[in-house]
Amino acid sequence: MQNRDRIKSAFESLLFVFGEPMDVRTAAAAVGIEKKEAQEIFRELARAYEERGSGIRIREIDGGFQFVTFEENYDYIRAITTPARERRLSQAALEVLAIIAYRQPVTKGEIDSIRGIKSDRVIEGLAAKELIEERGRSSAIGRPILYGTTGRFLAYFDLKDLGELPQLEDEELEEAIKSFGEYTAADEAAPAKTLAGQTELELL
Amino acid sequence: MDKIVYNSRFFMDKPCMRSFFGITILLKSVCDAANKDLHNALSNFNCLAIWYTIRMSYKIQLNIFEGPFDLLVYLIEKAEMSIYDIEISVITRQYLGHIRRLEESDVAVGSEFMVLAATLIEIKSQMLLPRITPAGETMEDPREGLSQKLAEYVRFKRAAAALETLREDAGHKLEKPQEDLQPFVGEPDIFLKMDMDRFIEAFRAFIYRRKKTEELQHMRRHIERERVSLETKIGAISELLRAAKNHVLKFGELLAKITDRYDKVVTFIALLDMAKSGQLIARQSQNFGEIEVENAEQG
């Protein structure tokens, strides 16, 4: 297959059929071109969707590409669905996930030590959701299992790769740790956000 | 009811429907308003819990803080202290008070909370001692380790909040499930080129083989050695031990005559069992050396 437009068209079909993030290497092999060229074509295709203002967009996840709906159309999608709420991750799950994301590969012992509490069940839950996976074993005593995040994790948080994770240490936070007086004031806005999407119960 | 609390999570879990939804209840502001109100708030939760139990048989789990660090950071934050300069005596008192109140309200307090309580008390006592060595050097601040840990925890707590925000936006992009690719995967059918005669021949051969095996199966009789039970084996071994010189046997001797793998395993388990119940004593003078078993009842 020679023609660039022809390949672009083929990639579009592949993305449609595949649904899940399509690995660039696989797509390149399917049409018989180099990986780098395939990546360029995918990016061109993604740009074309954006420029057209399409309701379907192509996002790059973990070295692959995937069709997703345009985020600004979310409210309309919700309008046609029964208001089923997404099962959110618990605070504990988010904490464990954050530790694994920034410190991977990491053992359960290290996670427990940072949180000051056992995380066994949370880890099980995250593994069942395929957000984390086992990454072999540490050479430390007892050869504990190492955990890392998955491709699913990147898609779940809409991250191109792990480099897109927000900074773990920033000046503002370090200042806050030094003096909680100012931090509390700045932090007051955050809770409203956490509450917004959650089911609230009217208390009698 | 009064304005209640947040930062505590109130989970309801209905196992039969495998549904689970979290309700955030405003518990923290109660603590802020006045600590004594916490008790009231909790009893209100209990009413609610009972109501749900009757109505829908929900299982209710109440988590007030994610862990001891979460509680400690909350207290430091509320007191507007610095993590690197904790007023240990104040914080320790508040921390212990909190745990006591939780216990009074019949909330099970995890052992992790107690470990941190002990750490706080230890640091508090160390703070009372002079921190200068006889040689005149200043010793490390006893709060140092705890401060580092708390700072680290706060960083990840913040990162967790950042992830939550990311997810909120990411959730607005929906993916499409994969098309049904089932018809395209798996083994394709194999077609053999064959004429009618060869096909009939092959079919006959197949029928013939089938008949032969059936005949053979009729003639064959199934013989299987009776499998030894653990109890029988234990009996046999104790008899052997009694008959042996000095009531001592070598492990190798016991296994020497046995060819069947199953039998070997049973013998080994029997020995372990007898050693456990004190019927025999096993001795090994060196690594990988011969194991000697002795009848304990006789000796």
pLDDT by residue (tens digit) across B213-271? Answer: 888 887 776 666 677 888 888 888 888 888 887 888 888 888 887 878 888 889 899 99
Cβ B273 vs Cβ B262: under 8 Å: no
SS3 B130: coil
Q: In the sheet where B280-284 sits, what is the strand order?
A: B248-250, B291-295, B280-284
Q: Which residues, listed in sequence order, are joined to residue B60 by a DSSP beta bridge?
A: B12
Query: Out of B77, B79, B151, whose CB is closest to A183?
Result: B77
Among residues of chain B, what percentage have pLDDT more than 70?
Answer: 73
- In SS3 terms, chain A reads as CCCHHHHHHHHHHHHHHHCCCEEHHHHHHHHCCCHHHHHHHHHHHHHHHHHCCCCEEEEEECCEEEEEECHHHHHHHHHCCCCCCCCCCCHHHHHHHHHHHHHCCEEHHHHHHHHCCCCHHHHHHHHHCCCEEEEEECCCCCCCEEEEECHHHHHHCCCCCHHHCCCCCCHHHHHHHHCHHHHHHHHCCHHHHHHHCCECCCCC
Phi–psi pair at B140, nearest 5 degrees: -60, 145
Mean pLDDT confidence for B168-181: 85
Is A49's pLDDT higher than 70?
yes
On average, the pLDDT of chain A sits at: 83
Q: What is the DSSP letter of B175?
A: B
B199-227 burial, b for 16+ CB within 10 Å, e for fewer?
Answer: eeeeeeeeeeeeeeeeeeeeeeeeeeeee
Cβ A69 vs Cβ A56: under 8 Å: yes
Mean pLDDT confidence for B268-289: 87
A74 touches chain B (CB under 8 A): yes
Give the side-chain half-sphere CA count within 13 A for B215.
6
When pLDDT is cut at 50, 70 and 90, the band that residue B178 belongs to is confident
Chain A partners of B174 at a C-beta cutoff of 8 Å?
68-69, 74, 77
Q: Which residues contact B276 (CB under 8 A, 6 or more apart)?
A: none
Cβ A17 vs Cβ B181: under 8 Å: yes
A52 touches chain B (CB under 8 A): no
- Select, from the ranges A82-96, A128-142, B223-237, B279-293, the one with the highest average predicted confidence (pLDDT): A128-142
Yes or no, beta carbons of A190 and B160 under 8 Å apart = no
A163-177 burial, b for 16+ CB within 10 Å, e for fewer?
Answer: eebbebeeeebeebb
- Enumerate domains of chain B plus CATH numbers: 1-64 (no CATH), 67-166 (no CATH), 230-295 (1.10.10.580)
Cβ B60 vs Cβ B53: under 8 Å: yes
When pLDDT is cut at 50, 70 and 90, the band that residue A183 belongs to is very low
Cα separation, A72 vs A64, whole angstroms? 23
What does the pLDDT read at residue B298? 55
User: A99: closest CA among A81, A78, A86, A116?
Assistant: A116
Of A123-132, B35-44, B178-187, minimum mean pLDDT range = B35-44
Cβ B42 vs Cβ B105: under 8 Å: yes
Q: Which structure tokens are listed for B150?
A: 């708390």
SS3 B12: strand
A65 touches chain B (CB under 8 A): no
What does the pLDDT read at residue A60? 92
What does the pLDDT read at residue A50? 93
- Enumerate domains of chain A plus CATH numbers: 4-74 (1.10.10.10), 91-192 (1.10.10.10)
CB pairs under 8 A between A and B: 174
Cβ B140 vs Cβ B60: under 8 Å: no
Cα separation, B275 vs B279, whole angstroms? 6
- For chain B, count helices (H), then strands (E): 10, 6
Yes or no, beta carbons of B173 and A57 under 8 Å apart = yes
Q: Which residues contact A28 (CB under 8 A, 6 or more apart)?
A: A34, A35, A37, A38
Yes or no, beta carbons of B66 and A184 under 8 Å apart = no
DSSP per-residue string spanning B270-296: HHHHHHHTTSEEEEESSTT--EEEEET
Is B166's pLDDT higher than 70?
yes
Gap between the terminal Cα atoms of chain B:
76
Phi–psi pair at A90, nearest 5 degrees: -70, 165
When pLDDT is cut at 50, 70 and 90, the band that residue B129 belongs to is confident
A33-41: long-range contacts, CB 8 A cutoff, minimum separation 24: A33/A1, A33/A7, A38/A7, A38/A11, A41/A4, A41/A7, A41/A8, A41/A11
Query: Out of B110, B155, B181, whose CB is closest to A117?
Result: B110
pLDDT by residue (tens digit) across A63-84? Answer: 899 999 998 998 888 888 876 6
Cα separation, A42 vs A63, whole angstroms? 11
What does the pLDDT read at residue B183? 73
Mean pLDDT confidence for B121-135: 84
pLDDT by residue (tens digit) across A11-25? Answer: 999 999 988 899 999
Instruction: Name the pTM for this structure.
Output: 0.59
User: A11: closest CA among A69, A73, A60, A72?
Assistant: A60
Is B113's pLDDT higher than 80?
yes
What does the pLDDT read at residue A200? 32
pLDDT by residue (tens digit) across B6-60? Answer: 333 333 333 333 333 333 333 444 344 444 445 555 555 555 555 444 444 444 4
